[in-house]
Amino acid sequence: MATAQQPWSPGWAGLTTPSEAGAGQEAPAAGPGLPAPGPEGDPAAVAAGSPGAHSGMTTRELQEYWRGEKGDRKPVRLIFDIASARIEEGTPCRFVMYQVVVIQTGSYDSTKAVLERRYSDFEALQRGLLRAFPEEMEDVAFPGKRLLGNLAPALIAARSRALAEYLRQLAALRGVRRSRELLDFLTRPELREAFGCLRAGQYARALGALGRAGPLQARLTAHRPAAAAPALCAALLCLRELERPLEAFAAGERALARLRDGHRYLEPLLDAMVRLAGALGRDCAPLQRRLEDCQLRRPGPRGLTLKELAVREYLD
């Protein structure tokens, strides 16, 4: 029986339709089974008392361990660029749309996400970050607004360079890099589009939007993996409706790996996975046992289905 590649892992193309192939929607994933270093991979931080499997090592042993780790893997980081800019006809006036390229580097891949944002989107990001990180943002330069000449080619080119540098400065700040504000700026428009298409039954379009935002969201939420589970569940639903059950099951497995007991998505996801496993002729007994355990811990009427839960996301 053919097997499906894991969604949002290197080489997986399940979130692209034939017309979208080659649109630059690569799919990064963190390597399984690797021990997590301390803050920013600092062995001294680990030695200072971080609990875990290596807490019994001496400082020298820890330093040697992390030197070996760093020899095998590079730290994941984000590189930003403004690839192009174009003038759009809007209401009530014209505006500039900037194409932002996010390159995600690491040991396992060096992939990119491409998204488009207006200057007003950058302004909203700056306001949110100033509220959340006033001290960290003191030295971050943000290109100001001009009353006249905003559509002049020279100004657009200069602002493109300044916005790219602004994003690079944000990526250098650990707290900002992991913040809800930056995550929403980079992924929320595409995720809202994806879940809107899911509600409308436009499953292929939803997959296209998920393919643009999902891999980047998963990478940015590695420190809180459950945050990417709704998007993976949406991918499962779309792939199931498009009669691609192997890929749907792979998306579900990826989502299950991110969820802990008690999460609102766990029980409906397990129910959907039991049904998919049965349709694929796979052993569904482990999934069924886990589902029954969840149901025993939550007495009362049956909860929402996976689709009923997913269509409620991003309604604001």
HEC assignment per residue over the chain: CCCCCCCCCCCCCCCCCHHHCCCCCCCCCCCCCCCCCCHHHCHHHHHCCCCCCCCCCCHHHHHHHHHHHHHHCCCCEEEEEEEEEEEECCCCCCEEEEEEEEEEECCCCEEEEEEEEEHHHHHHHHHHHHHHCCCCCCCCCCCCCCCCCCCCHHHHHHHHHHHHHHHHHHHCCHHHHCCHHHHHHHHHHHHHHHHHHHHCCCHHHHHHHHHHHHHHHHHHCCCCHHHHHHHHHHHHHHHHHCCCHHHHHHHHHHHHCCCCCCCCCHHHHHHHHHHHHHHHCCCCHHHHHHHHHHHHHCCCCCCCCHHHHHCCCCCC
Q: Does residue 102 carry a pLDDT above 70?
A: yes
Please state the domain extents for the chain: 35-72, 77-173, 181-310
146 vs 281, which has greater pLDDT? 281
Q: Does residue 34 carry a pLDDT above 90?
A: no
Entry pTM? 0.74
The topology under which CATH files domain 77-173 is PX Domain (3.30.1520)
Q: What pLDDT, on a 0 to 100 scale, did the predictor assign at position 297?
A: 86
62 vs 99, which has greater pLDDT? 99
Choose the weakest-confidence range: 1-5, 258-262, 297-301.
1-5
Q: What pLDDT, on a 0 to 100 scale, did the predictor assign at position 127?
A: 97
Give 63-90 pLDDT, tens digit per residue. Answer: 555 555 444 445 557 889 999 999 988 7
Choose the weakest-confidence range: 55-69, 72-86, 124-138, 283-297.
55-69
Give 192-251 pLDDT, tens digit per residue. Answer: 999 999 999 999 999 999 998 988 898 888 889 999 999 999 999 999 999 999 999 999
Name which CATH class applies to 181-310: mainly alpha
State the average pLDDT over residues 247-272: 96
State the average pLDDT over residues 256-265: 94
Q: What pLDDT, on a 0 to 100 scale, did the predictor assign at position 287?
A: 97
The reply to whether 181-310 shares the fold of 77-173 is: no
